[in-house]
Structure 1
Amino acid sequence: MTHETINGKPVHSAAKMYADEFKAGLLDRREFLTRASALGVATSAIYAMGGLTQPVHAAAHAKQGGTIRMQMEVRALKDPRTWDWTQIAFVGNGWLEYLVEYDSDGSFNGWLAESWEVNADATQYTFNIRKGVKWNNGDELTAEHIAYNFDRWAEGEAEGNSMAARVDSIVDPETKKAIDGAIEVVDSHTLRLNLRQPDITLIPGIADYPAAIMHPDDNPEDLLANQIGTGAYKNDSHEVGVKSVLVRNEGHDWWGYAEGKGAFLDRIEFIDYGTDPSAWVAAAESDEIDTIYENVGDFVSVFDSIGWNKAELATGSTIVVRPNQAATDADGKVIFEDKRVRQAIAMCVDNAVLLELGNAGQGVPAENCHVGPVHPEHDASVTRIPHDPAKAYALMEEAGMADYEFELHSIDDDWRKNTTDAVAAQMRDAGMKVKRTILPGSTFWNDWTKYAFSSTNWNHRPLGTQVLGLAYKSGVAWNEFAWSNAEFDALLDEANSIADAAKRREVMGKIQAIVIEEGVTIQPYWRSIYRHTRPGFVGTDIHIAYASQLYKWAVEA
């Protein structure tokens, strides 16, 4: 960490480099904010370094009290480190909070960690835990509590624990647990992480929704039993597939009140109307809901027409239609073992058509590598294997799979179903045989990583290396592709150790090319995302990564 200061705040040497790159036009505003704030630089200092005028936010037109009702799938609660859908977090975040918050503008800000510092080569992170924060059982939040969470996150062999991929730089590759000395409690409110290798994705990783901070005395397998947390709310009732209700925890003096952070509402209801958007419209028109979790496809214009307020964001959210490289059929054949088969599937599909038919054109086409323009490291010169149905069929013949019938699974909702339908149609147009299997969400999500050929949605992540580490690195919990590539893994580690934007983009270009050439996935487009809210409420705008930010929601004053 350098000792130079701006506006009285310490500034990391790499942040100064990012400011120079931003001024030179090498980084856009979002990249600059993301990179510099991840190093612990205060927002005011970042704006000063970049020669930017910090926006002045008008006082929120919010009043204390009231209820809001949101249409949302109500899922079963489970250990936070295994949360795999943000809808789970929306309920759990009533009482479980985060060390760091990620905002839609690309910046990271302190939450339970008031601030943090990163050394020059990003191998040591020091967190200053916010003082005066109380758990709702009366305990004071300490660095020991945070150390407990990092230790749990590092357990690589815990089933479904995606946090192990996010904190991989403190995990021993042999024991699959935290390295001795990696998690250091300096004092009651200071925690230091000593990494085994440089890692610039650590802050983005612990700002992601499965990184909710738990009390050591709570039971992660039964979150509703004790509900020990630092947040402003508690759960009053929770019925999977029906309804979940948060109410203000009147017996808890939430730390955010003194900081002016909101938590205005007395009651938040999440009501499950299933995956058919027409049911959401009916609920809106019947005055049964006040906002929706997310709008999709043609229903964006429908909600526009009934006069609800729309929030819209261009994002790194997407869908993947992927072959599982370990899956076998009834005869024991490894269906997608041959790279030619995977390449052929990608080649027969026009991604622009998938965007139009699957998501009503709301977004931009992608290049089948899960890294795009919203990511700082994206190399725009690397593009997909060209769309060529005739060549795709020739590859299938060459691989001896021209007569094989593929089964393609999807959920039964709007945009994911429509996108997957369009993939199947284009495969058939290229001469391939495809059976479509459409499942209700309650069935589909039970085995989402296990299907041989299926589609799943992926949320926005701030860094391209972050999403690649979560989904494509060998052996990680969310690697639904069952893909393993040593060269890819090594390049990903290398990219995460590079601060310089141009150098990191050069490595990312190699990574993107490997994912594309290996035919790992059809990743067809980047989505614009939408939320509609009934007039009379504020603070409900959709977040770029679907963070709940419940404390912002309010009845309009």
Structure 2
Amino acid sequence: MTRSASRGPLHPAAGLYAREVREGRLSRREFLTRATALGVSVPSAYALIGLDTPAAAQPAMQEGGTLRIESTVKALKDPRSYDWPQMSNFTRGWLEYLVEYNRDGSFRGILLDSWEVNEDATEYLLNLRPDVTWNNGEPFTAEDVAYNIRRWAERNVEGNSMASRVSSLIDDETGEAREGAIEVVDDLTVRLTLDTPDITLIAGFSDYPAAIVPQGFSGNPLDNPVGTGPYMPETFEVGVRAVMVKNPDHEWWGKGVIGEAALDRIEYIDFGTDQASIVAAADSGEVDMLYESLGDFIEILDGIGWVKSEAVTANTLVIRANQQAEVDGETPYADVRVRRALALAVDNAVCLSLGYSDRGTVAENHHVCPIHPEYADIGPSEFDPEAAAALMAEAGMADYEHELISIDDDWRRNTSDAVAAQLRDAGIKVRRTILPGATFWNDWAKYPFSTTDWAQRPLGVQVLALAYRSGEPWNESGFASEEFDAALAEALSIADADTRRQTMERLETIMRDEGVVIQPYWRSTYRHYREGVVGAEQHPTFEIHVYKLGLAA
């Protein structure tokens, strides 16, 4: 077992990565993601590349105050089955995380003080932060961590996407954690023993469904809200408003350790998906901060004098055919020719222009981004409308009318319209169905042909494991391939991203050859907030770290 910088020798790969940065072959962001995932502390990672850890460039904050955030207020459920970041942004007030993913690409411990990973990523030692307490006064211990990881490993619980993230700990026969996979070493230490190497485990612990709940958790975060964080829920009304307030009965362990939690009250206010209404609320002073600024309204928000924060991300959307979905007793998208025809008919650059006003970069139909450490450049996706029409005819689907379903909002609706128009230009019949958000998200994974947005994950292999591995809860494309699964298992076992890139090239090629998705662009994302709000910068995965928020003194 190799130890983090604060506890002993660095992981062997860290020095290699640092040299690649110095030689200009690796970006600083990629380096921070790789090194900190392997247990190198953030200060040590910066020191390896000859830099000081960036100081928190925040103005002094006043103690107290209220912050109003525009955000969809979605119904809550068991966090391990969260399927939307807004759910977690509210419960972050009292349900904290083992690890946090930050804007610079680094991972830092929250409830974990540090972690140690062996050279082949088959053993992880999790070192808890000392002196953390639950808001009921009980100490936070290794037993609590083990309890949560065991819950995440319950593969048969409907909607539990965390099982995808800890699959290397699961017994395939029982669908639960393997005997001996999770060991409580002492009150502050947990050892994880994997059956196969997995370099994504720490990144998975930072994802929004990985909120840490107390032992005996009922499944409802609002029912007896015990947590380790500084806030408590006050009111919660789906589609209207959710309010959290500073917990007067809990001295938060993290004050002065990881942050301040300066605010007394945080309100999330739901104005729906109409950007005009959201901008009007900002202009009239009804809110202080937006979840996300979109489209032409970005310039309007600039014009009212609000601060704009941008994140270059691997956030995207996919237009996918569900290979297992039945339509009138048939499975039209089980035929690879149909899927490839749909992809050949679409020019991704047109989707970026018409759907997202060119605020991003063109993608290549395989859902691995150039900012992912293991990205392999296999060239642009092919655009050939004539070949698309010929393939559709060869599949006997020339007269078939496809129904493309999307949510009724700005960029996803516009992108779907651009796709539908191009399909029609290629002679492929398509009709559009646009659903309100409350309806769309009820069955988002089941539609035969639809558009879904996906948040960034720090590693490309994470995305592929969550969205395209056979049988996973979030596999909305219904894609199932033994060849793909085997290559993905190989990629997950390779700690060095440069070596992993060779396998990633194979995975990306399979995705394109199988026509799994049309994935047209990577989008930069934006958030506006009024002057004087502190800690509100846009996060690559839309996280709102509530303990960082405050009002300038």
- Bin the TM-score by the shorter chain: over 0.9
- Matched AA of 1:333: E
Query: Corresponding residue for 2:473?
Result: 477
Query: Corresponding residue for 1:398?
Result: 394
Partners of 2:498 and 2:252 in 1: CA distance: 44
Judge which range, 25-34 or 52-61, deviates more: 52-61
Please tell me whether residue 236 in structure 1 is matched to residue 231 in structure 2: no
Contact 1:384 1:516 in 2 (8 A): no
- Matched AA of 1:187: D
Contact 1:246 1:267 in 2 (8 A): yes
Query: Corresponding residue for 1:255?
Result: 253
Q: Trace 1:450-465 onto structure 2 (pairs within 5 A).
A: 450-465=446-461
Counterpart of 1:343 (choices 332, 335, 340) is 340
CA apart distance, 1:137: 1.1
Please tell me whether residue 413 in structure 1 is matched to residue 412 in structure 2: no
Secondary structure (helix, strand or coil) at the match of 2:113 reads strand
Flag the 1:314–1:59 CA change in 2: closer, same or farther, 3 A: closer
- Matched AA of 1:462: P
Partners of 1:323 and 1:59 in 2: CA distance: 45
Counterpart of 2:289 (choices 276, 288, 291) is 291
Secondary structure (helix, strand or coil) at the match of 1:70 reads strand
Partners of 1:393 and 1:400 in 2: CA distance: 11
CA apart distance, 1:287: 1.3
- Matched AA of 1:556: A
1:442-471 CA-to-partner distances (Å, cap 9, x unmatched) read: 000000000000001100110000011010
Query: Corresponding residue for 1:431?
Result: 427
Query: Corresponding residue for 2:176?
Result: 177
1:198-227 CA-to-partner distances (Å, cap 9, x unmatched) read: 11100000100000000013311x221200
Query: Corresponding residue for 2:307?
Result: 309
Query: Corresponding residue for 1:115?
Result: 114
Query: Corresponding residue for 2:73?
Result: 74
CA apart distance, 1:503: 1.6
- Matched AA of 2:331: V
| TM-score, structure 1 as length reference | 0.97
Partners of 2:51 and 2:489 in 1: CA distance: 33
Query: Corresponding residue for 1:136?
Result: 135
Counterpart of 1:422 (choices 418, 421, 433) is 418
Contact 2:6 2:41 in 1 (8 A): no
Q: Trace 1:324-403 onto structure 2 (pairs within 5 A).
A: 324-330=322-328, 332-380=329-377, 382-403=378-399
Query: Corresponding residue for 1:193?
Result: 192
Partners of 1:385 and 1:401 in 2: CA distance: 23
Secondary structure (helix, strand or coil) at the match of 1:193 reads strand
1:381-418 CA-to-partner distances (Å, cap 9, x unmatched) read: x1344101111001011111010000110000101111
**Structure 2: any 5+ residue segments left out of the alignment?**
none
Partners of 1:8 and 1:468 in 2: CA distance: 33
CA apart distance, 1:49: 1.9
Partners of 1:154 and 1:174 in 2: CA distance: 13
| TM-score, structure 2 as length reference | 0.98
CA apart distance, 1:260: 5.4
Flag the 1:260–1:366 CA change in 2: closer, same or farther, 3 A: closer
CA apart distance, 1:52: 2.9
Query: Corresponding residue for 1:245?
Result: 243
Contact 2:236 2:242 in 1 (8 A): yes
Query: Corresponding residue for 2:210?
Result: 211
Secondary structure (helix, strand or coil) at the match of 2:442 reads helix
Query: Corresponding residue for 1:492?
Result: 488
Partners of 2:251 and 2:263 in 1: CA distance: 15
Secondary structure (helix, strand or coil) at the match of 2:396 reads coil
CA apart distance, 1:8: 6.8
1:219-264 CA-to-partner distances (Å, cap 9, x unmatched) read: 11x2212000000001000000000001001111111114151111
Secondary structure (helix, strand or coil) at the match of 1:184 reads strand
CA apart distance, 1:6: 5.7
CA apart distance, 1:53: 3.6
Partners of 1:10 and 1:40 in 2: CA distance: 11
Flag the 1:58–1:293 CA change in 2: closer, same or farther, 3 A: closer
Secondary structure (helix, strand or coil) at the match of 1:226 reads coil
Flag the 1:403–1:145 CA change in 2: closer, same or farther, 3 A: same
- Matched AA of 1:106: G
Secondary structure (helix, strand or coil) at the match of 1:515 reads helix
Partners of 2:294 and 2:438 in 1: CA distance: 20
Secondary structure (helix, strand or coil) at the match of 2:539 reads coil
Partners of 1:287 and 1:170 in 2: CA distance: 49
CA apart distance, 1:488: 0.8
1:308-336 CA-to-partner distances (Å, cap 9, x unmatched) read: 11000110000001000001112x11010
Partners of 1:95 and 1:6 in 2: CA distance: 30
Please tell me whether residue 266 in structure 1 is matched to residue 261 in structure 2: no
Contact 1:6 1:48 in 2 (8 A): no
Secondary structure (helix, strand or coil) at the match of 1:20 reads helix
1:112-137 CA-to-partner distances (Å, cap 9, x unmatched) read: 01111111111110111111111111
Partners of 1:135 and 1:215 in 2: CA distance: 8
1:348-376 CA-to-partner distances (Å, cap 9, x unmatched) read: 00101101111111100000000011100
Query: Corresponding residue for 2:512?
Result: 516
Partners of 1:135 and 1:464 in 2: CA distance: 34
Secondary structure (helix, strand or coil) at the match of 2:477 reads coil
Judge which range, 500-509 or 432-441, deviates more: 500-509
- Matched AA of 2:266: I
Partners of 1:385 and 1:174 in 2: CA distance: 40
Query: Corresponding residue for 2:531?
Result: 535
Secondary structure (helix, strand or coil) at the match of 2:223 reads helix
Contact 2:346 2:383 in 1 (8 A): yes
- Matched AA of 2:379: T
Query: Corresponding residue for 1:12?
Result: 11
Secondary structure (helix, strand or coil) at the match of 2:222 reads helix
CA apart distance, 1:60: 3.5
**Structure 1: any 5+ residue segments left out of the alignment?**
none
Flag the 1:260–1:467 CA change in 2: closer, same or farther, 3 A: closer
Contact 2:58 2:535 in 1 (8 A): no
